[in-house]
Structure 1
Amino acid sequence: HDFGKIPYGKPVEFDVTIKNISAEPVKIENVKVGCGCTTPKYEQGKSFAPGETFKVTLGFTGYADGFFEKSVDIFFNNGLNKQIKFHGTGYKVPETPAPSNNGVQKLKSAG
């Protein structure tokens, strides 16, 4: 998944849709993230029937300026796992706004 450009410290999310292609019900046992900046949301302990689709929401809050690439591993009770990768570019937003251009206002007033 490509988040594109995201502001420093702004949380973003995307949904991963997964389909149970096995002949048996499956459960998500664990979702392993690479750092504290990534947060998974999923229905823990719920059983998904064969053919059923379900989602895992992955949240990310970047505290770095520049390109990032992360991965998340989803582990199922049947011994299978799925790796999801995502990337983007974080950028810092100025803490104080740029000074206003009073010269434009003065020209309008003078006219």
Structure 2
Amino acid sequence: MKKLTISALLAVFAFAPFYANVPASENPGVVKTVADAIKWKSESINVGNIPQGKPKLIRFEFTNTTSKPIIIENVAPSCGCTTADYTKEPIAPGKKGFVEASYNAAAAGPFMKTVTVTTSDSKTPKTLSFKGVVVS
């Protein structure tokens, strides 16, 4: 029994190098299709100086560059000081949609916030950001 176990282990180790040399997929078109499914007008926005105590609306616009409708499944602001709105209906191929963030400018000073967007074309979330300075 001991010889059988040792023989089996040796066989596994003998064939392991063959599996280690399996080449990666050479199809960058799939990655490019997913990456280009939504073309954002801007993924980062500098809003500059904004007055304290007055909410600021930041709008991120995009175009569906696929051949099928895309649905925004989830939009998650990074903190409670930001709320979000977005295009609720499916965005047809070639059409535009939006994600809006409303930042509550309560505290003076510089800020940088993010909004994470998940769509039907990719389960990998896209992070949009905006920054500025709240002045009193």
Which category of TM-score, normalised to the shorter sequence, fits these structures?
0.7 to 0.9
Matched, 1:13 2:13: no
Decide which structure has greater strand share. Answer: 1
Normalising by structure 2, we get a TM-score of 0.61
Q: Which amino acid aligns with 1:22?
A: T
Structure 1 distance, partners of 2:134, 2:98, is 25
Structure number with higher relative contact order (C-alpha < 8 Å, ≥ 6 residues apart): 1
* Structure 1 gap ranges (5+): 93-111
CA distances 1:23-61 after superposition (whole Å, capped 9, x unpaired): 2211000101111111111232x1111111112222111
Deviation at 1:20, TM superposition (A): 0.7
State the Cα RMSD in Å: 1.5
Q: Percent identity?
A: 33
- The equivalent residue for 2:79 is 35
Paired AA for residue 76 in structure 1: T
Kindly tell me the number of residue pairs found equivalent between the two proteins. Answer: 91
One of 86, 106, 118 as aligned partner of 1:75: 118
One-letter identity of the residue aligned with 1:32 = A
Aligned counterparts of 1:31 and 1:10: Cα–Cα separation in 2: 23
Q: Which stretches of structure 1, 4 residues or longer, exceed 6 Å deviation after superposition? A: none
Partner of 1:66: 109
Give 5+ residue unaligned stretches, structure 2: 1-44
